[in-house]
Structure 1
């Protein structure tokens, strides 16, 4: 495992700030302190292309830039704060100054994560970390145990999903900067909630990306959707790997983040003997031991490859979990009927039953969409290694009009979909606003300053939609109106149906936490089957008694179904019916107890949850 090297501006109280930057091809590097009278301080060259110097007069709040070969003046690639945006000076920040109150916090086990993904800029009216803090009690009340923040690394302007970040170490100034993020994490831990942070190690955004001026951070060995790949295995790659290893460790150590969601790891290209992700996990394990708590890495990948989450002794990288797109695609295609783009080949009854027990649909099968055999078996991987959802920023925001399921399916079907996610054996994730049926879209938005780049983004979005049969004109990503339309209304406080839906989500989450069979989910102790014609999924959890029997009617007609009396012969009590008027449903005629009954009638588009009664 490589030896790590500190980079950036490290402030030491009473001593000053040590500046360190990697610039292997430079002949001369200076740090320019933006004081009342600017001061240039030469840096000394060290091994492997690093340059360093101590500046006694540099204290927290001091602005600075690096000057390369007396020519190019640039912000710090490892800047902790860009108070004036991506093109201006960096600011010295003291990570030791924050008054944390979470010293007893040890996080929660991954198995207990119920994740709520949110975008800081659109989650609240304020669009800041403070705005999120104000609403944490509402998320706690809902039953959320972990919030997941879309990327907060500094991006150009004030409107962006976060995947155009160009300073991986700097917290977005318009959100509240480093201090604001620490306050949010501290507040979450006070509420008993973990924090997952989305980080992007597969590319950097185009505007304000000055890394090439410092060194070979990129390589043309591989092609990515964003151009040259980050240099993880070419010449000079050791300091590049160090740059991102140190970044991950900073979020855990200095911001007390509990887990990182690693964006699109299939675009991290590395043919080294020890893959970047494996070595990253090893460094994180070292920090685990040092800090006395577990830090978690969750991968986003569209490869269906369990090598990401398999232990090293089984040839894996040892990450804790990964997102499961197959689950989303099956559910979405089944309830909407969509078969365009990457939904091709998804949406059968057999697949819905399979994802409940095998996580992946394509686990070594031929994919019509990809025109090849795809995926690997999950037989040795526990359920908590897979994060599932029915909506997320990608699947909503990458629709041309940003429609949520609220616009695509009926109110009753929204409850069915909620049950499929929350009652699955996997880690459930909600996308902000889905719990009450938010009606505003979540659109793609940017606030670049380069006219050519703005036009390129507009063109790229139009081309991205070409494989889907969507009608209409794509909203302008650069328009502030596009951003404003994506802001949550939190209208469940005034809308009765939305309040009913939120209460339904709350009850589902409570059942998942309190029911023995649901609170200790095991995909090897789940029975799932579904008739293609009847469109009713039988999902039985039997990891611990009393067993839980969930029935999902995904058709638009009432269905009379036979219960599985062969393997589960006890009587059943009704825990929940989505058709109940208390959830805004049309009503039902179910008794509270099913004494030896072998048949039950399900209303159209409904869930019925039964619990074994011995």
Structure 2
């Protein structure tokens, strides 16, 4: 093979940009920012002496036209005709053919030149030769009807196989006019092949090249090992495939997924890889933020320290860099030797080495070094995801570690089709912030910005969220801002993060109202916005909101609601902020002058009233519920009211309902039959069907899933699985293990705890695994699916609402009922007989048949035409005519 002569070779610089044209470097027609950024990019490329290569499917004349029309910078090299021609610029400005490449392609097709190939394909109907200027000595191009494209491609492939033609085929549909396009190239030929040949001939290493592209035709080059830019307008499938290929190959920091389209995306990527000047403004985020493929900006708040250094472990070397102390005690600095995936830790002025308080990932747990994470590295596909309206929420609560046998994000993602089939519209994930040990409910988080290492890497959680959105499900995350866990909490070594006057039973309370609280409050607000922005979450549930102690005004919770609301207004996605209040806290649901309302509150009164009705001797809450509470709880949605947990009598509930101008407040209540707390607060973590019966669960589920609040289902409930879900926690500190084991018994002294599962035992966690096929009750799943479908029908037809509902109890028949009046005057009626296991099974009762039966949890023997028989723990749902 001939190689380019010395005369043919221009001088190459150390930085080379190879870029596609259409959809990549060429500005989009409706994007003036692209045009402005093209001028900036061209000037920067020239001033930095970057060698520029255009790689395009266009033929030579068309490429020249595009350069002039769009005022593109003049390339040093031009690869065109879908990689079958290479030209380089001469000193006089002209582009000259690289003959050595032509000879290279000629050797590939020597056995069958293009003219001979054309003869072989002439018998295929539907192929239309493209214009002569679009043909080439090594390229044969056709038009075809888009509807026939796949069929014609198959016929061509058969002909190529029959004749042993040394050609490969690529095809696409022209996005501008819809024509089918077919190109036949020398076997293995492509834009990527031409670039690889050029790199080899010029004795270059792949690291010298940055390639930018947007389409499937660019994918081979994007995944060839070069540093690569995928512009923001690229099809998400291209971004995903490039991401997957780089990850599989183990290439770190070679792929940049631009946030902006076309020219601006190229400009963005060139800054990232250092081909041009980097962005001058530095991020104000805490933690380690990559600002380039090999550079990271560090920012940590340590007002009590005179000196802070960051130590970066690159695998083979350790670099130490002193950070500069600025205003308000923030230490900052850019470290050019710190790339994403490198591990780092902070060395304080007393020599102590600690992980980053705002670490994005702790690969070795709470005591180990932090890891630099690139927040822009994941190829999201949910750009058009709008979220789920509050009225349409059907929430499924799960614990990542116990949801599957593997106990990680990847395994949880594989289970999503099942949740979608059930009718779930939102997944609520118990806390995923880094906790100590091997298992934890999640409420002992100490690295609030880092996903738990045993669940997977940050991108694994993003993939879970992305898959949920693709399946039509929102994702809500539990976050804990009332305390920090007791082990691995190094925050106080950096600054006054902990309150000296407020305390919690679980760990240090945050300092929201003492000196230094301004920065602590910002730390927590930044954390909430971080989950919503970096992980595309659809909402947050604030754990134990009444324990977020703050004597200042506005309180941290109010500031949090304000800033989350502002963020929600800035994006095209519905965001939900939910408070765990465990009762009706009217202030939380009302907008006021100095604060905004929560979108929803956990209100457990109906759930606990159901437990109290069936199991009057069982106590799984700190508040007392009575066997007669359920009727009023259904009618008004609550038993206890306000932050001081007042028990409200029926007359007071009526007054509160009137003051609320109806009962629409109920539609902001999160209502469940079971939650992690209700199951976990039982000594053995038993579920309601184990304490009562499956028939009882079916009957009670109709009250919660067809109630006008927001229904929540706890994982495994839909299958009535027998796997327990007791409280489990693991600490590396032995004294903490012992303390939590004994403290759990003291928390609920009313139980007999002799045979309960110790929270720190490994069996306690492993027995809680949810996905055991032979434990599943498929009939229960079908029942839940049917109830959810009826609920969605009720919302669509507008009869399932709080203001159209009446609820009550008939003591003679022991039937609880919900009645929903339609605008037409007809009604949908839910009638359920709930009989606890301590009661003697009652005889069946005969009740008037009202209309047509929509659903029944058991077979319905009819006494006569006007009455039906209702057995204990049976529910019937009917619609009047």
* TM-score (ref. length: structure 1): 0.90
CA contact (8 A) 1:342 1:369 kept: no
Instruction: Give me the whole-angstrom Cα distance separating, in 2, the residues matched to 1:51 and 1:367.
Output: 44
1:109-140 alpha-carbon deviations (Å, 9 max, x no partner): 01111011011111111111111111111111
1:10-56 per-position Cα deviation (integer Å, ceiling 9, x unaligned):
11125721100111111111111123232221111111111111111
Q: Which residue of 2 aligns with 1:589?
A: 862
Residue in 2 aligned with 1:534?
A: 813
Separation of aligned partners in 2, 1:366 and 1:248: 27
What is the deviation of 1:382?
Answer: 2.9
Structure 2: distance between partners of 1:115 and 1:365: 25
Range with bigger deviation, 11-20 or 387-396: 11-20
Q: Give the C-alpha shift of residue 188 in structure 1.
A: 0.5
Partner of 1:163: 443
Secondary structure (helix, strand or coil) at the match of 2:640 reads coil
Give 1:326-475 correspondences, 5 Å limit.
326-340=605-619, 342=621, 345-349=624-628, 351-363=629-641, 377=656, 379-380=660-661, 381-468=664-751, 470=752, 472-475=754-757
Shift of 1:157: 2.2
Work out whether residues 219 and 230 of structure 1, in 8 Å CA contact, stay in contact via their aligned partners in 2. yes
CA RMSD of aligned residues (A): 2.6
Classify 1:590/1:242 alpha carbon distance in 2 versus 1 (closer, same or farther; 3 Å). Answer: farther
My pick for the range that moved more, 127-136 or 299-308, is: 299-308
The answer for the alignment partner of 1:20 in structure 2 is 299
Report whether the alignment pairs 1:74 with 2:342: no
Structure 1: which 4+ aligned runs deviate by more than 4 Å?
A: 364-370, 373-376, 516-520, 543-546, 561-564
Partner residue in 2 for 1:488: 770
Distance in 2 of aligned mates of 1:202 and 1:318: 19
1:584 match:
none
Tell me what 2:477 maps to: 197
Match of 2:192 in 1: none
Match of 2:879 in 1: 611
Q: 1:503 aligns with which of 782, 789, 792?
A: 782
> How far 1:317 moved relative to its partner?
3.9
Cα distance per residue 1:187-208 (max 9 Å; x no partner): 1011111111111111111111
- CA shift in 2, pair 1:103/1:227, >3 Å: closer
Equivalent residue, structure 2, for 1:236:
516
- d(CA) in 1 for partners of 2:531, 2:522: 14
Which of 258, 262, 267 aligns to 2:542? It is 262
**SS state at 2:445 partner:** coil
CA distance in 2, matches of 1:515, 1:448: 47
CA–CA separation in structure 1 for the residues paired with 2:467 and 2:796: 31
Q: Secondary structure at the match of 2:718?
A: helix
Shift of 1:81: 0.5
Residue-pair matches, total: 586
Instruction: Specify the SS of the correspondent of 1:382.
Output: helix
Give runs of aligned pairs for residues 122-161 of structure 1, distance below 5 A: 122-161=402-441
Separation in 1 of the partners of 2:796 and 2:472?
23
- The answer to whether the Cα contact below 8 Å between 2:561 and 2:595 also exists between their aligned partners in 1 is no
Question: Which string of whole-angstrom CA distances, capped at 9 and with x for unpartnered residues, describes residues 340-392 of structure 1?
Answer: 3637642444x32322232211237997989xx99994635533211011111
Give the drift of 1:562.
5.5
Judged with a 3 Å threshold, the aligned counterparts in structure 2 of structure 1 residues 408 and 24 are, in CA distance, closer, same or farther, namely: same
Structure 2, unmatched stretches of 5+, are: 1-282, 836-840
Instruction: State the partner residue of 1:557.
Output: 842
Over 3 Å counting, the alpha-carbon distance change for 1:541 and 1:228 in structure 2 is: same
Residues 584 and 642 in structure 2, CA contact (< 8 A), matched pair in contact too: no
Per-residue deviation, residues 544-596 of structure 1 (Å, max 9, x unmatched):
555311101113424546669xxxxxx6110011112xxxxxx53377xx7xx
TM-score by length of 2: 0.63
Change (3 A) 1:396 1:339: closer
Distance in 2 (CA, whole Å) between partners of 1:78 and 1:216 is 15
Tell whether the 8 Å contact from 1:435 to 1:505 is kept in structure 2 after alignment: yes
Contact 2:311/2:347 (8 A) holds in 1: yes
Which residue in the other structure is 1:61 paired with?
A: 341
Distance 2:374 2:694 in 1: 49
Please list the CA deviations of residues 150-203 of structure 1 after superposition, one character each: whole Å capped at 9, or x if unmatched.
Answer: 110011122111111110000111101201100100010111111111111111
* Aligned partner (choices 208, 229, 240) of residue 488 of structure 2: 208
- For 2:485 and 2:622, how far apart are their aligned partners in 1? 28
> Is 2:591 aligned against 1:311?
yes
CA contact (8 A) 2:583 2:640 kept: no
Following the alignment from structure 2 to structure 1, what is the Cα–Cα distance between the partners of residues 296 and 581? 39
The answer to whether structure 1 residue 522 and structure 2 residue 779 are counterparts is no
| 1:216-256 Cα deviation digits (max 9, x unpaired) | 11112122112442111111101111111111111111101
CA contact (8 A) 1:155 1:167 kept: yes
Alpha carbons 2:538, 2:573 under 8 Å: kept: no
Q: 2:385 aligns with which of 77, 100, 105?
A: 105
1:476 to 758, 761, 765: 758
Rounded Cα–Cα distance in structure 2 between residues aligned with 1:365 and 1:550:
32
- Is the CA contact (8 Å cut-off) linking 1:309 and 1:316 kept in structure 2? no
> Contact 1:24 / 1:49 at 8 angstroms: preserved in 2?
yes
Distance 2:552 2:327 in 1: 22
Unaligned runs of 5+ residues in structure 1 are 565-570, 581-586
Between 1:446-455 and 1:109-118, the stretch displaced more is: 446-455
Contact 1:29 1:66 in 2 (8 A): yes
| Distance across 2 between alignment mates of 1:343 and 1:156 | 27
Distance 1:456 1:363, change over 3 A: closer
8 Å contact 1:332–1:347 — kept in the other structure?
A: no
- Could you tell which deviates more after superposition, 205-214 or 351-360? 351-360
More deviation in 245-254 or 9-18?
9-18
Q: Mean Cα displacement is larger for which, 450-459 or 337-346?
A: 337-346
Whether the 8 Å CA contact 1:512–1:518 is kept in 2: the answer is: no
Q: Is the 8 A contact 1:548 1:611 kept in 2?
A: yes
Query: Secondary structure at 2:365's aligned position in 1?
Result: coil
